[in-house]
A and B are shown apart, each in its own frame.
Chain A
């Protein structure tokens, strides 16, 4: 029964192909945007989740809030230093802490120059950098405590188009004009920033780059069994006391890996909500388009409605026919939209792959997204078709039959 109505509606829509297509344009643009945005958002979230998973839940990350340019007075005074690191180290519940200095620097290999992230790490730390950052060695070895002009390079230096010739083990590279020998290559993390970084001794780095005692980031590992959130609060308290800052006016942030991930999720959520809101406008316009088309259709088919009533169609039958037709407009729009949305998502993934050289962004199209999008587009169609369908169903048979 209902399937026959779908059949009937489908025939009608096919008869007015061009109009039907134009009508659903708004719907499928909206649905395509929603599907693409959500799938990309999901992909981003899961890839970031993976990164945080690597980092581990027992980590607390301390960063300076300083927005001042490096070297400026305001910037300088707010930076974290080795002394802050000592404070963190002594905090109860902290297993150990690692300070890392990040700077962009010029690297020369053969005759090529590249700008890359240089990470200064302390190979003497009890808690090794590789352990904290979950870096794994692909080839060679990690930095040893007395390594001076030795470097460990990210996987991107070996593969990927960063250099014309890959930087192999044992090769010499120049960082800020100083020669280093490559002793190890890191496994790819999937994150291009990590993969293109170069690790050297923090001490040497401070020396050649004229850096003071600053630390860009401190990674504290919490003693097993302790609650990272609690320890993070304790660290914040200790640092406030040491740096003589009031609560709420700190110049640093202390976040557990999980909190960091949550704040990322929040930002992503807001971003997605805004974008989907914009896509919703397209859906609204699409719905109005369907309504307009259905009104036109009811007018054009007034006589047909009269005929159907004369052969026994009830108001409810006419209502169903037009509602289903409007719903189908929405649904077909949704189908095309989902297809385009999947295409866009895949395209974004390909572009991300091309730009980052890693498969970090894996867009996914969960069943709920696709089914939800289709159901939603059908509902938009039905809602938009309600008023026209009611009008159609209420036409008086005799008058409808007289209509030319």
Chain B
């Protein structure tokens, strides 16, 4: 099977001098296509940093990162944005929806940056919103939706450009356990349909549901 993600001795340091924090140290990691990986580790261990590097939101100081065989370590800003938009779908703990836009408009936004026409965007947004069970809430603003519903909108948005990889940074962290389970179920369904999923979590019960678990401590991936 093809490799979805390959990290080769990747490191990332924040700050300079004696306040410098090495958030990720020589990380080596391979994720196969169609995998479902859970990343666990204590707070401040570098999970989010790792996730941002994989998602092309940040660039490593050393090492190489391959996404779908493509080296993103030395890409220009606009190439990074392009890759991010096409191959990655992000789901965040704080949902990170744009408050002034409706659910549907939020889902349409990633497609705008990929240059899809208004008609295509509208059709696809409705489709993915129905897929996450929000067909009846499309025109509501995030403020009018429950936490679980907002996270579903975020997942729909992550699916908008039909990316191969979904990165979820503590997607259930702001939800009660019942809603959290629903969201996890949704991600598992997506995994069954072929998406490669990486989920960061503190919740052991969620981690156990993953196909693989990776531990990270003080920036070291094990």
Contacts and interface: CB of A to CB of B under 8 A. Distances in A.
Contact of A308 (B58, B78, B92, B109): B109
B171 interface: no
A401 B84 contact: no
Nearest to A317: B113
Contact of A311 (B52, B90, B115, B118): B90
Given A307-B98, A311-B113, A4 B118 contact: yes
A168 interface: no
Q: How large is the interface on A (under 10, 10 to 19, 20 to 34, 35 or more residues)?
A: 20 to 34
A397 interface: yes
B96 A314 contact: no
A12 interface: yes
A306 B58 CA distance: 12
B91 to A, nearest CB: 10
A133 to B, nearest CB: 66
| Residue among A4, A307, A308, A396 facing the most chain B CB atoms (10 A cut-off) | A307
B100 A312 contact: no
Given A1-B115, A4-B118, A315-B78, A310 B100 contact: no
Interface in B62-109: 77-78, 81-82, 84-86, 90, 92, 96-98, 100-101, 109
Contacts of B90: 310-311
Contacts, number: 66
A308 B90 CA distance: 11
B98 to A, nearest CB: 6
Interface string A1-45: 100100000011001000000000000000000000000000000
Nearest to B118: A4
B161 interface: yes
B34 interface: no
B112 A314 contact: no
Given A397-B58, A398-B52, A398-B58, A314 B118 contact: no
B100 A11 contact: yes
A396 B59 CA distance: 11
Closest 7 CB pairs of A and B: A312-B85, A311-B110, A314-B81, A312-B113, A314-B78, A397-B57, A398-B58
6 contacts: A1-B115, A4-B112, A308-B113, A310-B55, A314-B77, A398-B58
